[in-house]
Every structure is written in structure tokens, then in C-alpha cells.
């Protein structure tokens, strides 16, 4: 069904028109996660040909009045710090494009697991788990053989060595420590996740951490306050929409491309039209859900 929607939006020229008219003077943030090297090569090449890829820091500079933004400006982001992200390195180097990868600071460099990827049973229950209070979620995960600090046989995240190797070409930023749903955390845990992840990444890798990507795109006013107090300069959501020079820097919008498997899917999703139609139909898969916080 989705495949058909992508084709209709591409081959009728609607996605193209949307990109050239509506999207043209906006800043579009795109979200990827765990792409294979082949998909990354195809997708990043396409974006490089049809958009002007800018760094997250270029966008922030322009907001501060330093430098100008090109038209069809796109900021490319990856969340979590998956193992496969290391394969992006030669592609990024070859294309010479800026990319930001948001890391879970207590998972990278270890054999700890991303809780939502721990096992098939967890994956089946993932939506129910996301809706629980944080302590309740962790207790339930214990019964499913998962705990946050436990190291497993297989590695799911980037290693310290890989981050060290990539850090001159890749902008690494924070995605919390363990990827909780922040609005479901108590005040102490929310603060710890936001503050400690910045400290850990700065002290372990000598990075300048200025941006926070809210895990699962979920945030509350409290989490934004804590991020500001911790010294972040911006917070990235997965709320559908574009950004401009007057956007709220702690509610920056972003489209999830979800590791597009074809140029047609990528073209339609990167234009933003797909998520905006879904949003109109009240089917956003991510984003701020105030009633639950
Ligand atoms: Zn994430």
C-alpha cells in the first residue's frame, strides 16, 4: 500500500512540485537510523544531487545571523549510534557532506543493547513498553531478560574506536544515555539522562555536545527546560514539518525517512509531503504526545 502511495506522489510530479515550490525556502531535517551501506550510498547520493546538504551547526550559525542558507537546505541526522553507522564513514568522506549522528552515551562503546531491539518479544511489545512509566518499563524489561547495564554477547552500537576514527568528519551529538521515553521519566532520571549523556560524550571523546535529539521524538516542557539548563543549544524532535531562521530551537522539526529502501520512497519522504499527509490523517508515528506526559 505504502509503495503505491510513493509511486503516485512521485510519478504524478506532485512530490517534485512540492519540493521545488513548498520546500524550496525551508530547512528540512531528515532522520535515518540503521541503513545498509548500499542504501546509504544511494540515498545520500540522491540527497546530495537534489538538495544542499548543510551541517546542523551551519543552520544554528545562520539562525544567529552568521552566514546565509542555500535553498533546499537539508540537515541529515542519524539517531541512536547503530553499529552499521560505521559503514557510512567512507560514503560521507567521499561525498564530503556533513552528517550528525546522535549517540546514546551509555550504550556506544559497550555491548549493552538498545532496549527496543533486545529481542523479538521486546520488539512485539515495543509500543506498549513506550507508553509505560520509566520504572515500570524497566521492570517489565527485566522479566524479558533485559537490563540497561548488562553487556551481551553481540554489539549493537558504535565502538569507541569507531567513534574516534569518525569524529573528524562526523558531528556526534547526544541522544540521552539509555534511550528512555523522557516524558515518562521522573525529574531525577530525566535530568540524569540529559545532563550525564552530554558529560560522558564530552569527557570520553573530547566532543562539543550542543544538540540533543529526544529519544523516540518524545519530550515535555520539563525536558526542554533541563536541556537548556544543561547547556544544549538545540533539541531535535520528530514532529512533522520544516524549520526556518525563526524556529523554536528546542522543538526543531524533522521528517523520519526510516531508512528508505528505494529512490521513490526517499524522494517522497525527503520532500516532507508524505509525513504531512499522514499528519493530516492523524497518523503520526512519532512526536510529542502531550496527553501522555
Ligand atoms: Zn532513537
* 119 and 242, same domain (yes or no): no
Q: How many domains does the chain have?
A: 2
CATH of the domain at 232: 3.20.20.370
* 53 and 187, same domain (yes or no): yes
* 140 and 57, same domain (yes or no): no
Q: How far does the centroid of ligand 1 lie from the alpha carbon of residue 127, in Å?
A: 14
> 0.75 exceeded by the pTM?
yes
Residue 98 belongs to domain spanning: 2-110+156-287
Q: How far does the centroid of ligand 1 lie from the alpha carbon of residue 181, in Å?
A: 10
Q: How far does the centroid of ligand 1 lie from the alpha carbon of residue 129, in Å?
A: 14
Phi, psi values for residue 256, rounded to 5°:
-85, 120
Q: Report yes or no: 95 and 45 within 8 Å, Cβ to Cβ.
A: yes
* 193 and 85, same domain (yes or no): yes
* 279 and 236, same domain (yes or no): yes
Q: How far does the centroid of ligand 1 lie from the alpha carbon of residue 104, in Å?
A: 8
Q: How far does the centroid of ligand 1 lie from the alpha carbon of residue 245, in Å?
A: 26
Residues ≥6 apart with Cβ < 8 Å to 57: 171, 210
* 221 and 282, same domain (yes or no): yes
Q: How far does the centroid of ligand 1 lie from the alpha carbon of residue 189, in Å?
A: 17
pLDDT per residue of the chain (293 residues) written in tens, 0 to 9? 678 889 989 999 999 998 999 999 999 999 999 999 999 999 999 999 999 999 999 999 999 999 889 999 999 999 999 999 999 999 999 999 999 999 999 999 999 999 999 999 999 999 999 999 999 999 999 999 999 999 999 999 999 999 999 999 999 999 999 999 999 999 999 999 999 999 999 999 999 999 999 999 999 999 999 999 999 999 999 999 999 999 999 999 999 987 778 899 999 999 999 888 888 887 655 555 544 33
* 106 and 118, same domain (yes or no): no
Q: How far does the centroid of ligand 1 lie from the alpha carbon of residue 150, in Å?
A: 19
Residue 293 lies in a domain: no
Amino acid at each position: 500500500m505504502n509503495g503505491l502511495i510513493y509511486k503516485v506522489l512521485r510519478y504524478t510530479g506532485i512530490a517534485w512540485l512540492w519540493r521545488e515550490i513548498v520546500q524550496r525556502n525551508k530547512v528540512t531535517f531528515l532522520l535515518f537510523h540503521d541503513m545498509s551501506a548500499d542504501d546509504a550510498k544511494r540515498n545520500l547520493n540522491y540527497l546530495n544531487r537534489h538538495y544542499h546538504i548543510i551541517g546542523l551547526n551551519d543552520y544554528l550559525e545562520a539562525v544567529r545571523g552568521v552566514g546565509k542558507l542555500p535553498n533546499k537546505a537539508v540537515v541529515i541526522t542519524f539517531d541512536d549510534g547503530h553499529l552499521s553507522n560505521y559503514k557510512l564513514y567512507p560514503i560521507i568522506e567521499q561525498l564530503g557532506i556533513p552528517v550528525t549522528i546522535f549517540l546514546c552515551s551509555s550504550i556506544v562503546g559497550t555491548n549493552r543493547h538498545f532496549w527496543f531491539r533486545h529481542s523479538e518479544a521486546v520488539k512485539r511489545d515495543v509500543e506498549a513498553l513506550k507508553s509505560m512509566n520509566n520504572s515500570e518499563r524497566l521492570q517489565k524489561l527485566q522479566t524479558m531478560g533485559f537490563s540497561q547495564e548488562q553487556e551481551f554477547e553481540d554489539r549493537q552500537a558504535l565502538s569507541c574506536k569507531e567513534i574516534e576514527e569518525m569524529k573528524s568528519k562526523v558531528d556526534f551529538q547526544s541522544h540521552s544515555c539509555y534511550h528512555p521515553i523522557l516524558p515518562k521519566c521522573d525529574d531525577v532520571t530525566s535530568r540524569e539522562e540529559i545532563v550525564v549523556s552530554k558529560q560522558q560524550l564530552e569527557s570520553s571523546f573530547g566532543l562539543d555536545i550542543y544538540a540533543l535529539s529526544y529519544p523516540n521524538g518524545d519530550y515535555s516542557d520539563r525536558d526542554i527546560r533541563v536541556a537548556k539548563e544543561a547547556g544544549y543549544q538545540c533539541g531535535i524532535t520528530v514532529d512533522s514539518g520544516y524549520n526556518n531562521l525563526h524556529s523554536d530551537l528546542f522543538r526543531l522539526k524533522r521528517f523520519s525517512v526510516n531508512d528508505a529502501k528505494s529512490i521513490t520512497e526517499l524522494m517522497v519522504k525527503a520532500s516532507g509531503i508524505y509525513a504531512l499527509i499522514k499528519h493530516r490523517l492523524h497518523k503520526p508515528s512519532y512526536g510529542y504526545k502531550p496527553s501522555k506526559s
